[in-house]
Structure 1
Amino acid sequence: MARKKSTSLKMRILHRYLGFFLAGIMAVYAISGIVLIFRDSDTFKNTVVIEKTLDPNLSAPSLAKAVNNKRLKVTKEEGGVLYFSEGTYNSNTGAVVYSKKELPFILDKLTHFHKAKSGDPLYFLNIFFGLSLLFFVVSSFWMFIPSSPIYRKGMLFVAGGIVLALILLFV
Structure 2
Amino acid sequence: MKWSNKEIRKWLRILHRDLGYLMVGLSIIYGVSGYILNHINGADPAFKKEDKSITIKKDLTQKELLSEWNQLENNPKAKKVLRINEDHYRLMLDGGVGIYEVHSGTIDYQLYSKKPIIYFFNKLHYNKVKYWTWISDIFAFTLVFFALSGLFLVKGTKGIKGRGKWYLIAGIVIPLLFLLWM
TM range (shorter): 0.5 to 0.7
Report the residue type matching 2:131 in the other structure: P
- Give, in whole Å, the separation in 2 of the partners of 1:87 and 1:7: 63
Report matched runs for 1:1-171 at 5 Å: 6-42=7-43, 44=45, 45-48=47-50, 51-54=76-79, 74=84, 76-78=85-87, 82-83=89-90, 86-88=97-99, 98-101=109-112, 104-116=115-127, 120-145=130-155, 148-151=156-159, 152-171=162-181
Q: Contact (CA 8 Å) 2:16, 2:149: kept in 1 or not?
A: yes
Task: Give the structure 2 partner of residue 69 of structure 1.
Answer: none
- Give, in whole Å, the separation in 1 of the partners of 2:9 and 2:145: 14
List structure 1 runs of 4+ shifted beyond 6 angstroms: none
The unaligned stretches of length 5 or more in structure 1 are 61-73, 90-96
Identical aligned residues as a percent: 23
- Give, in whole Å, the separation in 1 of the partners of 2:180 and 2:77: 46
Q: Deviations over 1:21-61 (max 9, x none)?
A: 11121111111111001223348552157732436xx767x
Return the TM-score normalized by structure 2: 0.63
Return the TM-score normalized by structure 1: 0.67
**More RCO (CA 8 Å, sep 6+):** 1
- Give, in whole Å, the separation in 1 of the partners of 2:44 and 2:25: 24
Closer, same or farther in 2 for the Cα pair 1:127/1:83, shift >3 Å?
same
Name the larger-Rg structure.
2
- Give, in whole Å, the separation in 1 of the partners of 2:127 and 2:23: 18
Secondary structure (helix, strand or coil) at the match of 2:77 reads strand
Closer, same or farther in 2 for the Cα pair 1:47/1:88, shift >3 Å?
same
The unaligned stretches of length 5 or more in structure 2 are 52-74, 92-96, 101-107
Task: Give the structure 1 partner of residue 68 of structure 2.
Answer: none
